[in-house]
Amino acid sequence: MNIVVDQGKCVGAGQCVLAADDVFDQRDDDGLVDLLDANPPAERLADVRHAAAVCPASAISVHF
Amino acid sequence: MSIDAERLKLPFARPNVLELAPLYELLRREAPIAPVTTPAGDPAWLVTRYEEVKLLLGDKRFGRSHPEPEKASRVSTSAVQDGPSGEYATEEADHTRMRRLLTPAFSAKRMRMLGENMQRLVDACLDSLIAEHERTGVVDLHRGLAFPLPVAMICGLLGVPEEDNELFASLSERMASTEIGEEAHQAREEFFRYMVGLVEGKRGQLGEDVISDLVRAQAEDPSFDYVEMVRLCVGLLFAGHETTVNRIGLGVLFLLTERSRWDALVADPEGRVDAVVEEVMRLGAPGDLGLLRYAREDVDIAGVTIRAGDALVLSINAANRDATVYSEAEEFNPDRPERTHLGFGHGAHFCIGASLARTELRVVFAALAKRLPDMRLAKELDQLQVRATLTGGVAELPVTWRSA
């Protein structure tokens, strides 16, 4: 899996961090998304999909 | 009944604080964007279906400002989300700057780090309530827990003296009141003056808190208007306690009015609390209106034409119970497969305090289930006093765990 985040869309809600804090973080200076792992192992798929689904700005996409 | 026969008037009477007016179900099916008259007597569109509410929240053709604010529809007589706010020409840039300033202070990681502090506060509240219960047999969870926890947390984050809590709570209550007319606006003015005093008192000795951050940012940025900065501080203090106080109350009511819900949480507090919090966020329906937007241009959607300048009331309450999205939508079921909801909004205005609220709710419901497993309501649901404010909720939460 390959994760792409769009910082231009991100509103810093932090929903992705709550869903998968090993994959997503928020930058200290502006709170926008910080992608820690663009290619996490397959067993993280459910949480990553959830992170993409709850993102209020639709800033996360998951590719295969 | 026909919903076209006459223009509907908000608010729709609801059976109790946990249920919505049955009319919402009809509207979602027959007229998901319906013309209504607001409690202030002005025309607006009421949006009730999940799909359209989510779409409009994420659509930049809808904003909070209005090109001619004095001509805009008013939504209520309260002084919160009652009409347009912000500058029409610069709304998006102003909002982006505000989010950039505030987001780091409310980030998910920082809020999680507050969890231990919250746990101590909740335990202290529960110790006091347990001692009081020894003497009286009934305690008010609203006064003893639902109110003091969010107040203490937001005071710490914003840098507001906690001893002012009675003052700003009463100002908040009056500002959001839907029954006192012009006095709600006077309360907003008073709240503004209180905040000016706080801001100016801090200016000489700025600290590590959100209001200090805003004072610094405003001083450095000539395009950041002083009045806007103070209004923002008022908004944060208002929203930072009012909403979570209500949500704790609604959650306790959902859990205690059906024993099996409470017993399931008591059986496994740590394992179940996250799902319970999300379901409380989905089904809890504070207030009788919704989020306010104004169209920035003409938009055709769901069979209607919305004109530039029209007001829209986006009913989060109705959208979160949409049967085309949620199976047995009216049922409280933390195990449901649908894990998303609009309880914190969506899009650019998504609740900046969502991670704070989630952390607070998690700590509160897990602690209640662990420490007060025999807790039950000491009054019937329909005997509880409901607050006549835009944000709704109950004014009391009497509980007991005395053996019957």
Note the pLDDT tens digit of each residue in B5-55: 578 999 999 999 999 999 999 999 999 999 999 999 999 999 999 999 999
- Which residues are within 8 A (CB) of B260 and not within 5 positions of it... i.e. 6 or more apart? none
A4 lies within 8 A of chain B by CB? no
Comparing CB atoms, the residue among B103, B111, B347 nearest residue A12 is B103
Neighbours of A42 (CB within 10 A): 9
- Measured in degrees and rounded to the nearest 5, phi and psi for residue B315 equal -85, 95
Is B1 contained in some domain? no
d(CA B160, CA A4) in angstroms, rounded, equals 39
Complex confidence, ipTM: 0.89
Give yes or no for residue B363 having a pLDDT over 60.
Answer: yes
Residue A25 touches partner B, C-beta closer than 8 Å = yes
The identity of residue A44, as a single letter, is R
User: Quick one: pLDDT at residue B1?
Assistant: 46
| B328 C-beta neighbours (distance < 10 Å), count | 9
Could you give the 3-state DSSP secondary structure of residue B30? helix
Given B100, B106, B340, which is nearest A53 (Cβ)?
B340
Residue (of A63, A64, A7, A3) closest to A34 by Cα position: A7
A54 → closest Cβ in B102, B340, B351: B340
Query: Residue B340 sits in which domain range?
Result: 8-400
pLDDT the model gives residue B5:
52
Beta-carbon separation of A11 and B348 below 8 A = yes
Contact B251, B283 (CB under 8 A): no
CA-nearest residue of chain A to B105? A31
Q: How many domains does chain B have?
A: 1
| Segments forming the whole domain that contains residue A11 | 2-63
DSSP annotation string for B322-371 = -TTTSTTTTS--TT-S----STT--GGG--TTHHHHHHHHHHHHHHHHHH
Q: Give, as one character, the DSSP assignment of residue B177.
A: B
Q: Is residue B3 part of a domain?
A: no
Query: Measured between CA atoms, how close is A22 to chain B, in angstroms?
Result: 12
Q: CA B291, CA B29: separation in Å to the nearest integer?
A: 20
As a whole number, mean pLDDT of residues B210-235 equals 94
CA distance linking residue A21 with residue A27, whole number of Å: 13
| Two structure tokens written together for B52 | 């359209």
For B220, the 3-state DSSP assignment is: helix
CATH of the domain at B298: 1.10.630.10
Helix (H, G, I), strand (E, B) or coil at B284: coil
According to DSSP, the residues that pair with B62 across neighbouring strands are B295
Interchain CB distance below 8 Å, B347 and A26: no
In a domain, B85, yes or no: yes
Summarize the confidence of residues B144-168 as an average pLDDT. 95
| Rg, chain A, Cα only | 10
What is the arithmetic mean of pLDDT over A29-48? Answer: 95
Summarize the confidence of residues B336-354 as an average pLDDT: 94
Q: Is B126 helix (H, G, I), strand (E, B) or coil?
A: helix
Given CB atoms, is A45 within the 8 Å cutoff of chain B? no
- Two tokens, residue B245: 């106080």
**What local confidence, expressed as pLDDT, does residue B77 receive?**
87
| pLDDT score of B81 | 86
Match 């908040």 to its residue by tokens. Answer: B172
Q: Are B8 and B46 in contact (CB under 8 A)?
A: yes
Work out the minimum CA distance from A49 to partner chain B, whole angstroms: 11
The region of weakest confidence among B21-25, B63-67, B127-131, B169-173 is B169-173
Residues from chain A that touch B340, judged by Cβ atoms under 8 A, are: 53-54
Q: Residue A15's CB: how many other CB atoms inside 10 A?
A: 26
- Please tell me if residue A62 touches chain B, with a CB cutoff of 8 Å: no
Q: CA-based Rg of chain B, rounded to a whole angstrom?
A: 21
User: What total number of domains does chain A contain?
Assistant: 1
Lookup: tokens for B203: 């200016």
pTM: 0.94
Whether A34 contacts chain B with CB within 8 A: no
Cβ–Cβ of B347/A11 closer than 8 Å? yes
Cβ distance A12 to B354 less than 8 Å, yes or no, reads no
Which residues are registered as beta bridge partners of B34? Answer: B46
Instruction: Give me B84's structure tokens.
Output: 């347009």
User: CB-based contact (8 Å) between B107 and chain A?
Assistant: yes
Sheet strands side by side (includes B139-140): B139-140, B398-400, B376-377
How far away is chain A from the Cα of B45, in angstroms, using its nearest Cα? 23
* B355 part of contact set with chain A, CB < 8 Å: yes
Residue B58 lies in a domain: yes
Residues of chain A neighbouring B348 (CB-CB closer than 8 A): 11, 57
Which of B50, B54, B97, B109 is the best substitution to test chain A (most A C-beta atoms within 10 A)? B109
B202: exposed, middle or buried (C-beta count within 10 Å: 0-12, 13-18, 19+)? middle
Q: B66 pLDDT band (50/70/90 cuts)?
A: very high
The model's confidence at residue B388, banded by pLDDT at 50, 70 and 90, is: confident
Any chain A CB within 8 A of the CB of B354?
yes
Cβ within 8 Å, pair A53-B358: no
Interchain contact, A50 vs B339, CB within 8 Å:
yes
Chain A residues lying within 8 Å of B106, measured CB to CB: 14, 31
**Taking a C-beta distance cutoff of 8 angstroms, is the pair B275, B298 a contact?**
no
User: What is the Cα–Cα distance from B394 to B392, expressed in whole angstroms?
Assistant: 7
* A14 in B contact zone (CB under 8 Å): yes
Most B CBs within 10 A among A7, A22, A30, hence the mutation to make, goes to A30
> 3-state DSSP call for residue A46?
helix
- Answer yes or no: are the C-beta atoms of A20 and A51 closer than 8 Å: yes
**pLDDT for res B403:** 86
Q: Specify the pLDDT at position B346.
A: 95
CATH number for the domain harbouring residue A47? 3.30.70.20
B7 Cβ contact partners less than 8 Å away, ≥ 6 residues apart? B35, B36, B37, B43
B150: Cα within 13 Å, side-chain hemisphere: 28
Whether B3 has a pLDDT exceeding 70, the answer reads no
pLDDT given at position B392: 83
SS3 content of chain A, % helix, strand, coil (to 5): 30, 20, 50
Say which of A11, A28, A57 has its CB closest to residue B104.
Answer: A28
Nearest residue of chain A to residue B341 (CA atoms): A54
The pLDDT value recorded for residue B4 is 56
Element (H, E) at B36: strand B33-37
**Tokens matching residue B243:** 């909403």
